Structure 1
Amino acid sequence: MPRVKRPTKKSRGGSSSMEPPPQDHPLTQWFYNKEDFDLYLSDFAPRKVVPPRYLEPNFFDQHHYPNLLGILVRQNLVNYLKIKDSYYPNLIAIAYTTLDVEFEEDDLVFSFKIGKNTYALASSELSAIWSLNYNGEKVESGHTSEDFRRNYFKENACTMFNIPIGTPKPTVGLLNVEHRLLHYFLTYVLVPRSGNHGLILDEDLEIMWRMVNGQKIN
């Protein structure tokens, strides 16, 4: 990961406190000041880091699910979904504690502090590392423009996925196996959320419909 020295961000409550963290905690060495350490203890240490999900492409051939693999190939997502490596929950929580996100020359830059060092990584660098290509229909949650909705009709999507039109809260139990797996990758990896993974939201339905129809998704 590229190391870039960046200015220390200000405290959420005002000026930053430079008081060092207490020395009686095993993770003290990973924090630059007491303010970040206290935030970690109150907001991030209690949270459980969800184990990452990953793709085993051979599984689909062995179980005769070629259509789903084809969908992921067309979206250029296979290499990203195959990523599997060791991860360290404490460091993840520490990074989120100090995470700062800002735009720099139309690029989204993520920066965080580990100990006295500040690290930064731009979204364009992440895209290159993961071989992701953001050049399709832009997906936005909650405030999607009418222009984006062109050629999409919820009724058609419901018909494709065998969901009775008008079902108030459709669940993955209505989907066939391949579409259920697609929804799994969508809600756990591509657009992850903390709960209600079995519920098919309107955004889920539209993204799945576009992916199955071969439309590139940004």
Structure 2
Amino acid sequence: MAPKKSVSSEDPRKKRLKSKASRDEPPSLDKSFASSEYLVRFHDDISRRTVVFGKIVDFPYFANHHIHIRELFQAQGWENFLSTRQKQYTTLVKHFYTHFQFIHGKISSYVKGKSISLPHSTLASILGVPRTGAQRYTTNSWVQFEGYDPLESIRQMCGNPNIQELSRPKIADLTLESRLIHHIIAHNILPRSGSYEYTSYLDLFIMWAILNKVKLDLAFYIAWHMETCVNKKNGALPYGLHITTILNHFGVDFSGEKETRDVSHKDVYGETTMRTNELKLKLQGMKNQCKRIKSLEAHLLGSSRMNEDNFQLVLGRLDSLATSMGNIQTSIDNFSAMVTRKFSTYDEQFGTLETSIQEINERLINQGI
């Protein structure tokens, strides 16, 4: 007799739910995470975010083409920071931000069993940037800083001293030098994803400081920007290639890491960037030309109406002037008539006087006097 098949008493629906749960279950805890809380945070949030690699600035290229931005970043002490070329370990960057905390000006984190502590001075030292400079961080208003006049700075960045309205300029309105500086800010100083065609309040302050060689504390901005991005829902994770420098300093083991990114030609600010900018400038020039033509058409039409209005106004004024001149002429005529009458009277009186004098003379002669 064949043995009976064992029949499971478990509900098939529960089995399907358990199977689905096992597929969705986060990976088991290992030394990659300090606790199960961080494991859940990584699985539910950080693992899904984009990492901003950054850009490498080819300063020699710009110098050879007489675009003098190297001196501006040398004045800040950021040339080496902006020229760093190294691999990004994407998973480890996400682990860094999974454990990221920023308390009392100090960053702390944990990656692959290594505890990371980054006071301001340590962060600056690891990244090779000065530890001093201005510290102003705001995202929703004009930066308040002695010597910083937002309107004057916008005039400088746009190369237009006639700007009167205080508003954040579009990238297309900036000079080529200011545009390049803004691109470096958007990819390296305050890295973000998405559109780079806008300027923030903080972008404009940093651009002003760079253009005028006002020293900034880069480590301060990096720490605060990390904090802002990691706390922003679905915010991109900045400084991908520079976190490699930090992890290397703390002896994190990179072996076995599969999710990496190497530097490509698209990551370098140089010839490719300039060609892209030149194309954008040409397209923008064509758009501006179209706007000028439309503006000229409107001006000409407006001028025609304005000239007609002015003509009618002038005619009205001429009529008024003619009336006034007529009144003046009448007054002159009346005055002339009055003078004529007066002189006629005087003539008559002088004639009578002359006759009287002649009669007196004749009488005197007759009397022998």
TM range (shorter): 0.7 to 0.9
Give 1:42 deviation, angstroms.
0.6
Kindly provide the amino acid, as one letter, of the partner of residue 188 in structure 1.
Answer: H
Q: Pick from 26, 39, 49: which aligns with 1:47?
A: 49
Secondary structure at 1:95's aligned position in 2? helix
Give 1:166 deviation, angstroms.
2.5
Secondary structure at 2:203's aligned position in 1? helix
Whole-angstrom CA distance in 2 between matches of 1:145 and 1:200 = 12
Asked if 1:81 corresponds to 2:78, the answer is no
Decide whether the 8 Å contact of 2:29 with 2:35 is kept in 1: no
TM-score (norm: length of structure 2): 0.46
The answer for the alignment partner of 2:106 in structure 1 is: 109
1:54-84 Cα offsets, whole Å, 9 max, x none, are: 2222121232212x11111111110111112
Q: How many residue pairs were aligned? A: 191
Residue ranges of structure 2 left out of the alignment (5+ in a row): 1-23, 218-369
The two structures, once aligned, show a CA RMSD in angstroms of 2.9
Asked if 1:128 corresponds to 2:125, the answer is yes
Give 1:153 deviation, angstroms.
1.8
Instruction: Percent identity, please.
Output: 21
Whole-angstrom CA distance in 1 between matches of 2:28 and 2:180 = 40
TM-aligned CA distance change 1:34 to 1:142, over 3 Å: closer
The answer for the alignment partner of 1:158 in structure 2 is: 154
Decide whether the 8 Å contact of 2:171 with 2:199 is kept in 1: yes
Whole-angstrom CA distance in 2 between matches of 1:166 and 1:59 = 36
Give 1:40 deviation, angstroms.
0.4
Secondary structure at 1:150's aligned position in 2? coil
Whole-angstrom CA distance in 1 between matches of 2:116 and 2:133 = 30
TM-aligned CA distance change 1:27 to 1:156, over 3 Å: same
Secondary structure at 1:173's aligned position in 2? helix
Q: Which moved more, 1:124-133 or 1:35-44?
A: 124-133
Q: Which structure dedicates a bigger proportion of its chain to helix?
A: 2
Asked if 1:118 corresponds to 2:115, the answer is yes
Asked if 1:208 corresponds to 2:207, the answer is yes
Q: Which has more radius of gyration? A: 2
Give 1:117 deviation, angstroms.
3.9
Secondary structure at 2:187's aligned position in 1? helix
Whole-angstrom CA distance in 2 between matches of 1:180 and 1:135 = 26
Superposition map of 1:32-71 within 5 A: 32-66=34-68, 68-71=69-72
The answer for the alignment partner of 1:8 in structure 2 is: none
Q: Which moved more, 1:33-42 or 1:163-172?
A: 163-172
Kindly provide the amino acid, as one letter, of the partner of residue 64 in structure 1.
Answer: H
Secondary structure at 2:97's aligned position in 1? helix
TM-aligned CA distance change 1:87 to 1:27, over 3 Å: farther
Decide whether the 8 Å contact of 1:74 with 1:214 is kept in 2: yes
TM-score (norm: length of structure 1): 0.74
Runs of 4+ in 1 over 3 A off after TM superposition: 22-29, 142-146, 193-196
Give 1:111 deviation, angstroms.
2.1
TM-aligned CA distance change 1:25 to 1:137, over 3 Å: closer
1:126-170 Cα offsets, whole Å, 9 max, x none, are: 212223223233222158898x53322222112212264427552
Decide whether the 8 Å contact of 1:171 with 1:200 is kept in 2: yes
Give 1:109 deviation, angstroms.
3.0
Superposition map of 1:23-34 within 5 A: 25=27, 30-34=32-36
The answer for the alignment partner of 1:190 in structure 2 is: 189
